[in-house]
Structures are given as C-alpha cells and as structure tokens.
Amino acid sequence: MLRTPTGGAGHGTATADDRPMSIGTVLLRLRDEFPEVTISKIRFLEAEGLVDPQRTPSGYRKFRGADVERLAQVLRMQRDHYLPLKVIREHLDALARGERSALPSGEAPRDRTDGGWDGGSVRATAPRVGRAELLAAAEVTESDLDEWESYGLVVPAAGGGYDADMVTVAKLVADLGRFGLEPRHLRAIRSAADREAGLIEQVVAPLRRHRNPQTRAHAEATANELAELSVRLHSALVQTALGVRLH
C-alpha cells in the first residue's frame, strides 16, 4: 500500500514530493494496493471526471500527489463499497469543497478479515421482494408476469422472490408494453443482454479465479463498471441508429 511520508491517515496516499508524475509513474504507485489497475483504467477515470491532471503544452498528462490520492480513494470506494462512479465523484467533490459528506450508502463493505469472501456474498444477502410486491411495483397482473417469465424476461431468484434488479426489469417491460411492445418483441433485447453479460464474464473470470481474496473482490466492481459502459454504448448505438433512419 502507498503511504504518506508524514504518517498521514491510514487511507492516505501521496508521493514522496509533489513533483509532476507521468501516468506510468502513477500506475506504479497504485499497483501495490490495486494490482489490477491499468493505464486504460486511469484514463477512463479521468474521462469520467474523477481526476483532472495537468497537461503539458504537448498534451502529456502530469499528475500531482493529490491526484494519486484521489485515484486511490476512488479505487478503494469501488473495491470496498461497490459505489457507482457518479456517486463517488459527487462524494469526493463535496469533500474537496470542505463540505461534510458521509460515505454514501452502497452495498456492505468487504470484510477484510474474511479470506473466503469472493465478491458474490453481498448480492446474495440483498433484500428481495415477493410476487405480490413485484406486481404492485410494475402495476401489472398475474397473467402479465406469467408471460414475462415464460419469455425469460423476468426470472425469480434461486431461493425465491425477486431481487432489486429484477423489479427494475419488470417496471421497464411494463413501460415498454404501454407502447405496444410485447414480450415476444423483447426477446432480442434479452438475448443481446445475455451475450453482453457473457463478454463481461470473460473479462472478470480470471479475477474471480485469483488466489488473492482482494483481487477476487475487485472482480465485482470491474463487472459493474463494464456493465455501465456496455449500457452506455448500447444507448448511444440505438440513438445513432434512430438518427440515421430519421434523416
């Protein structure tokens, strides 16, 4: 783990001095604590507004100690609390403005003392709703839900009930139905989602098989981040396709 030379807070990360650093140097400073971090990841976090390094006249990034500290905070909050990047950015920006900002509520923090934690236990304990609650949330009938399940659009959890993500799916299917889109029309979307999930699984599978529990835990945050990017790409492609057809 990176440490401050002055013995700062336990989660502090800083350079030995505040001379500008290249992105490669930043990567080396972060690697001890975050072995899976890459230059592409750092660039992605910059694009998402999580860090704002200086630029030389020729366009090269130059990071300061404060930038490295902020990157480390972002990576910890992703790894330990599975918070979305937007929430992390708002939290850190509030702290930078001197505002009091409690750690946003997300999924439960990782238990560092439990070497057998594998990143999936948090979701396994997430609250679920029953069938009646799902029907009420989506404002649909039993027959509607039966049809959605027959097409594989809504799937009950293994232990019974429906998790929060599935409630969201049910609401969206219901909203699309009000525009005349029936479950049979949505099978292509379901199939595409399954293929995208398969691609993401290929990326995170090596992390989940890693012997280091911390690395396995990082797989969940990586999967969430890839899912966000996949959704944004899908949305952009749909809007582009519609724009082409409308003109």
Contact assessment for residue 71 and residue 27, using Cβ atoms and an 8 Å cutoff: no
**CATH fold group of domain 1-106:** Multidrug-efflux Transporter Regulator; Chain: A; Domain 2 (1.10.1660)
Which segments of the chain are extended strands (E)?
Answer: 54-55, 61-62
The overall pTM is greater than 0.75 = no
- Give 40 or 171, the one with higher predicted confidence: 171
**Percent of the chain scoring above 90 in pLDDT:** 18
CATH of domain 123-246: 1.10.1660.10
Domains 1-106 and 123-246 share a fold: yes
Count CB neighbours of 88 within 10 A: 24
Domains of the chain by residue range: 1-106, 123-246
| pLDDT of 180 over the 80 cut | yes
Rounded CA gap, 137 and 172, in Å?
A: 11
pLDDT per position as a tens digit, 115-155: 333 333 334 445 688 888 888 888 889 999 999 999 999 99
